[in-house]
């Protein structure tokens, strides 16, 4: 299957002006399966000009009409879900079932934003003088530059695209060079659904060159980035220098606190699925498993056993439960944090090694007794590594949960209503899921605090990030 992807600028699919391309590699086979066209500065200039024109058209289309086009795109994505999911598995590695789910949830997200766009209400503020109207209106912020990573090639794009389109913004998406075909399929669905030229533009290239150009460009009014905290801080400071609205969805290192009154079977099943989904390359993946000491051995035994039983393989095989890592950089990073933990006295209870003679396959790994200065306990491992640590009491668990500068997701399992309320209040995090792992629905805010970023994606909060407030004070003449 060949997955050559062009740039989408001003409603047309075009080669980059240099005709250069970036190879796309199937992480399960290491074969080149396609290319992404590389945008040069001249292409980016065209993309900005197109987005400016697109904005002038789209902002004047009513939310009702915008919603119709968005819903049509969602229908097309559902019709094409099988084809899109296969392309995603081939370029990213995740099992087909996960790719299908992501594609269908993408359609769901677009539909939700299509509806929510009709509810971008302003306010009428009572005036101090009779005959005066005071209106707080909400206007689209303008052309958006969005930078999305490879781990969820559809979801990461639709959160930004859905909110931008619903509010009347145009957008330039710099999608991941590793996973261009999924993003292209999404854009094609909107094109086929009748989105006007210039409203959605898609580029690939050298990420730093593109972000530097787009973020500093005066016509770009909003920047949204999902990726590592290190890059996010760099882009946020550049955006700050140029006074741009920013949403930053950055790294995490989620604690999963299992209290001794928890339903261990439920906790094991849900956390196992959440940990190894997309081979652990998920910013909200549970990573530091904190387990109350009197159920620790029990939980470790169950979790290790279930981890060892996971079927790892090519995501195109329907029996596969965990695919390869998405690229070779992740293999090197994951191997180095495991080695570092072992060097510092940790014990590997399951997995720990790369395997196979082709593809970026890593065994699902469980580590116990990792000291708090082990790299894995501090940097986002972004791979299939679960770190299991016992704790004595509530205060100790919360102190460990809050030790890191990250604050994206957290999980807790307990049968006590009081513990559930206390832990939700005590953990410094943007999201916490208790006795389940339900995060990232279209209607709920997806949000980080501390070094995990700021600004929500999803929910009505996700809409707020794409609108400006304009105050109009008017008297009769």
Can you give the binding site for ligand NAD, defined by CB under 6 A?
147, 149-151, 176, 207-208, 211, 226-228, 231, 235, 249-251, 283, 329, 380, 382
Locate 262 and state its tokens: 């928890």
From the number of C-beta atoms within 10 Å of its C-beta (0-12, 13-18, 19+), residue 400 rates as: middle
Question: To the nearest whole angstrom, how small is the minimum distance from the Cβ of residue 329 to ligand NAD?
Answer: 4
Q: With respect to ligand NAD, which residue has the nearer C-beta, 267 or 409?
A: 409
Question: To the nearest whole angstrom, how small is the minimum distance from the Cβ of residue 219 to ligand NAD?
Answer: 18
Q: With respect to ligand NAD, which residue has the nearer C-beta, 195 or 284?
A: 284
Q: With respect to ligand NAD, which residue has the nearer C-beta, 22 or 264?
A: 22
What is the DSSP-derived secondary structure letter of residue 283? T
Strands 347-350 and 365-368: antiparallel
Q: With respect to ligand NAD, which residue has the nearer C-beta, 227 or 351?
A: 227
User: How far is the CA of 310 from the CAs of 49, 88, 284, 448, in angstroms?
Assistant: 49, 21, 20, 30
Q: What 3-state DSSP class applies to 60?
A: coil
Question: To the nearest whole angstrom, how small is the minimum distance from the Cβ of residue 85 to ligand NAD?
Answer: 19
CB atoms within 10 A of CB 438: 11
Q: Determine the Cα–Cα distance for residues 116 and 374; give it in Å rounded to an integer.
A: 44
Question: To the nearest whole angstrom, how small is the minimum distance from the Cβ of residue 160 to ligand NAD?
Answer: 12
Locate 469 and state its tokens: 């407030």
Q: Determine the Cα–Cα distance for residues 323 and 56; give it in Å rounded to an integer.
A: 43
Question: To the nearest whole angstrom, how small is the minimum distance from the Cβ of residue 149 to ligand NAD?
Answer: 3
Question: Which residues touch 438 (CB under 8 Å, ≥6 apart)?
Answer: none
Q: Tokens 């690229």 sit at which residue?
A: 327
Question: To the nearest whole angstrom, how small is the minimum distance from the Cβ of residue 145 to ligand NAD?
Answer: 9
DSSP string, 224-269: EEES-HHHHHHHHHHHHHTT-EEEEE----EEEEE-TTS-HHHHHH
Q: With respect to ligand NAD, which residue has the nearer C-beta, 103 or 278?
A: 278
Query: What are the residue numbers of the active site?
Result: 249, 283
Q: With respect to ligand NAD, which residue has the nearer C-beta, 334 or 388?
A: 334
Q: Determine the Cα–Cα distance for residues 99 and 131; give it in Å rounded to an integer.
A: 57
Question: To the nearest whole angstrom, how small is the minimum distance from the Cβ of residue 148 to ligand NAD?
Answer: 7
User: How far is the CA of 151 from the CAs of 27, 142, 324, 377, 383, in angstroms?
Assistant: 12, 27, 12, 21, 11
Locate 203 and state its tokens: 């580029």
Q: With respect to ligand NAD, which residue has the nearer C-beta, 414 or 437?
A: 437
Paired strand residues for 470? 137
């Amino acid at each position: 299957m060949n997955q050559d992807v062009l740039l989408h600028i001003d409603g047309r699919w075009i080669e980059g002006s240099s005709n250069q391309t970036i190879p796309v590699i199937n992480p399960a086979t290491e074969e080149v399966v396609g290319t992404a066209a590389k945008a040069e500065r001249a292409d980016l200039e065209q993309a900005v000009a197109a987005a400016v024109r697109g904005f002038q058209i789209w902002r004047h289309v009513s939310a009702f009409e915008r919603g119709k086009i968005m819903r049509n795109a969602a229908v097309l994505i559902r019709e094409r879900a099988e084809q899109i999911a296969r392309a995603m598995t081939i370029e990213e590695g995740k099992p087909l079932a996960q790719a299908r789910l992501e594609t269908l949830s993408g359609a769901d997200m677009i539909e939700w934003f299509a509806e929510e766009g009709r509810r971008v209400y302003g306010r009428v503020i009572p005036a101090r003088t009779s005959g005066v109207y005071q209106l707080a209106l909400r206007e689209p912020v303008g052309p958006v530059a969005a930078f999305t990573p490879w781990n969820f090639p559809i979801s990461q794009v639709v959160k930004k695209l859905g909110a931008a389109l619903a509010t009347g913004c145009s957008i330039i998406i710099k999608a991941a060079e590793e996973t261009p075909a999924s993003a292209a399929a999404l854009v094609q669905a909107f094109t086929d659904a009748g989105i006007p030229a210039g409203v959605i533009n898609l580029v690939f290239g050298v990420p730093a060159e593109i972000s530097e150009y787009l973020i500093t460009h005066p016509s770009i009014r909003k920047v949204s980035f999902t990726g590592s905290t290190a890059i996010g801080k760099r882009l946020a400071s550049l955006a700050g220098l140029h006074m741009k609205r920013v949403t930053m969805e950055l790294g995490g290192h989620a604690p999963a606190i299992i209290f001794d009154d928890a339903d261990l079977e439920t906790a094991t099943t849900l956390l196992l699925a959440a940990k190894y989904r997309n081979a652990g390359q998920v910013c909200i993946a549970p990573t530091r498993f904190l387990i109350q000491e009197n159920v620790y051995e029990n939980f470790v035994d169950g979790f290790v056993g279930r981890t060892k039983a996971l079927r790892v393989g090519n995501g195109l095989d329907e029996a596969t439960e965990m695919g390869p890592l998405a690229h070779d950089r992740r293999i090197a990073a994951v191997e180095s944090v495991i080695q570092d933990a072992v060097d510092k006295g940790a014990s590997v209870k399951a997995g720990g090694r790369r395997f196979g003679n082709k593809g970026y396959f890593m065994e699902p790994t469980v580590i116990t007794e990792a000291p708090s200065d082990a790299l894995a306990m501090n940097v986002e491992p972004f791979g299939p590594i679960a770190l299991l640590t016992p704790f004595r009491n509530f205060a100790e668990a919360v102190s460990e949960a809050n030790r890191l500068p990250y604050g994206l997701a957290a999980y807790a399992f307990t049968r006590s209503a009081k513990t559930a309320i206390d832990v939700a209040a005590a953990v410094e995090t943007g999201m916490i899921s208790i006795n389940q792992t339900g995060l990232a629905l279209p209607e709920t805010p997806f949000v980080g605090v501390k070094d995990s970023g700021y600004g929500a994606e999803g929910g009505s909060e996700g809409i707020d990030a794409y609108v400006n407030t304009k105050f109009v004070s008017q008297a009769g003449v």
